[in-house]
Structure 1
């Protein structure tokens, strides 16, 4: 099914060349002049059935952009370099309703191709944001670098995102999207960091309210989730991904809004490596990224609405089911496989433990290998209000710190009707 989807997508988009009747080429103005107006004018002229070309150069982006294509293509050989004006972007970025977040660039439309040719993409000037945030998560106004928004049947390929301001990319309210051959790097080089993770919230990519999305051939190096599935993400495929990250394949967070019913369903993941960076410090004193917490991390909010999003919430309902994770290798994680149903960005309060009603069912692992740097390799903290059920584990080889596996290294609470974990203990 997954291969058929990819072949269909390439056939659908491979015929675009014959329809291209117009080419608009934009040259960088230089000297810090805002190139966004010229780029937007090119899309207005050539975005429908034509081609917009940006030769190799740095293009200054000093305002939010929405580039729309219908049957067109975008050849980006250089970088869209977002200005480091924090006050401007906080006031002027597009709003994203989930968690009250922000976006710098929307790509919208249908039947289009964006090609970075291995040399082009986004430079987010993220260091100013990392230092400004100083390790605090979800501060208002940090824009995501790019969002594939309200799009259908599209390919984004051969693309780089360097120093994203916040999440590097998002797929929102979109269908039949292929994102292939990506490189994302969020590295903190501020020597004042002192070992603190100042590259929080620099996810490689997130999906939200989208279906039939395929990620393949990705390399992510940063301080947060490699690829994360937010509410109502269905029929998602992830293949051949390398993550140096805080978390690898991340399900959620989810269940944050009390009036929502969230679904994660039909997610297929294979051939993924998740690792902690071997060097705690880079030359100059800045940390590369945070300690790797979980290679596969499932996280839902408490069942009570406490506080205000993005840093509070809870009480949402829903389920995650039909998930397959195959050929996952995890290197030096705190806990390679991790689930929490008591998520809150504020202080955890034992009063709300076991209140989550979000259901984690029908999740299957095949050929999972790796190591932890603690005494645990699995920690599944399911809720008594919504116990986990129907999980399976085949060909598992996870080694805790110290080498030998023990009964205490695999912990499962409210975890029933599973197969393949003989040492799972409550």
Structure 2
């Protein structure tokens, strides 16, 4: 499971922490550097994380989270979610700020993921139906999280969890991906007010990146 779980916690400064959860000796899963749940006013400062999952993840009812002066290696980047895992439960993530972050071979800089509205199984491994130097696109939204054993392909447009009021300002560097941002938003609760400015990411060849949207934003 996750390296550090911050649950029902408030007003914490977590400073100068090294996480190395790379599974060098045995295969590891869910190697998140840290996850917050039902917590507020949490500051991550001067973290170094080596892993192959979320570098730091904000989950249900995480508010006023600050991430500063951190270095993330080989994982998936900063994650909002997954969220919307508990059927008919309202969840929120609000006021998350990340500044002066260095990424090395992470999949994203920052991405969001919500469960679909179809419930298969129960948490922690199942659920759904809730409300409320890079390898991939620097910024991503995906509203298609679902239990791996769920039947069929799943409905990636029916999440009732709405994502809104996001600003990504300043993403310099290089990436293997041709996309600056990739947005897959729910048709039931579409993404609104998503802003990406001053994105100066380039391919190694120097080509500028594009934004790809599966649904109107």
Q: Deviations over 1:288-330 (max 9, x none)?
A: xxxx322211000001112332332111001xxxxxxxxxxxx
8 Å contact from structure 1 (residues 336, 371) kept in 2: no
Counterpart selection for 1:363 from 158, 166, 171: 166
Q: Please name the residue that 1:176 is paired with.
A: 11
User: Greater helix share, 1 or 2?
Assistant: 1
Within a 5 Å distance, the mapping from 1:90-239 to structure 2 comes to 166-190=1-25, 198-239=27-68
Check 1:299–1:351 CA distance in 2 against 1; reply closer, same or farther (3 A cut): closer
Check 1:200–1:377 CA distance in 2 against 1; reply closer, same or farther (3 A cut): farther
Check 1:212–1:411 CA distance in 2 against 1; reply closer, same or farther (3 A cut): same
1:413 equivalent to 2:200? Answer: no
Gaps of 5+ in 1: 1-165, 277-291, 319-330, 417-426
Within a 5 Å distance, the mapping from 1:321-332 to structure 2 comes to 331-332=133-134
8 Å contact from structure 1 (residues 199, 222) kept in 2: no
Deviation of 1:402 (Å): 4.8
Cα distance between partner residues in 1 of 2:178 and 2:122:
35
8 Å contact from structure 1 (residues 251, 298) kept in 2: yes
Where 1:204 maps in the other structure, the secondary structure is coil
Q: Deviations over 1:252-308 (max 9, x none)?
A: 0000111311110111111111221xxxxxxxxxxxxxxx32221100000111233
Check 1:260–1:245 CA distance in 2 against 1; reply closer, same or farther (3 A cut): farther
Cα distance between partner residues in 2 of 1:317 and 1:346:
20
Structure number with higher relative contact order (C-alpha < 8 Å, ≥ 6 residues apart)? 2
Max radius of gyration: which structure? 1
Cα distance between partner residues in 2 of 1:182 and 1:261:
32
Gaps of 5+ in 2: none
8 Å contact from structure 1 (residues 275, 333) kept in 2: no
Counterpart selection for 1:254 from 83, 100, 103: 83
Check 1:310–1:401 CA distance in 2 against 1; reply closer, same or farther (3 A cut): farther
Q: Please name the residue that 1:342 is paired with.
A: 144
Where 1:307 maps in the other structure, the secondary structure is coil
Cα distance between partner residues in 1 of 2:145 and 2:187:
15
Q: Please name the residue that 1:310 is paired with.
A: 124
- TM-score, normalised to structure 2's length? 0.91
Cα distance between partner residues in 1 of 2:28 and 2:111:
19
Cα distance between partner residues in 2 of 1:412 and 1:373:
19
- Between Structure 1 and Structure 2, how many residues are aligned? 216
8 Å contact from structure 1 (residues 237, 267) kept in 2: yes
Q: Deviations over 1:378-398 (max 9, x none)?
A: 211001111111112221112
Cα distance between partner residues in 2 of 1:352 and 1:229:
24
Q: Please name the residue that 1:383 is paired with.
A: 186
- TM-score, normalised to structure 1's length? 0.48
Check 1:369–1:345 CA distance in 2 against 1; reply closer, same or farther (3 A cut): farther
Where 2:16 maps in the other structure, the secondary structure is strand
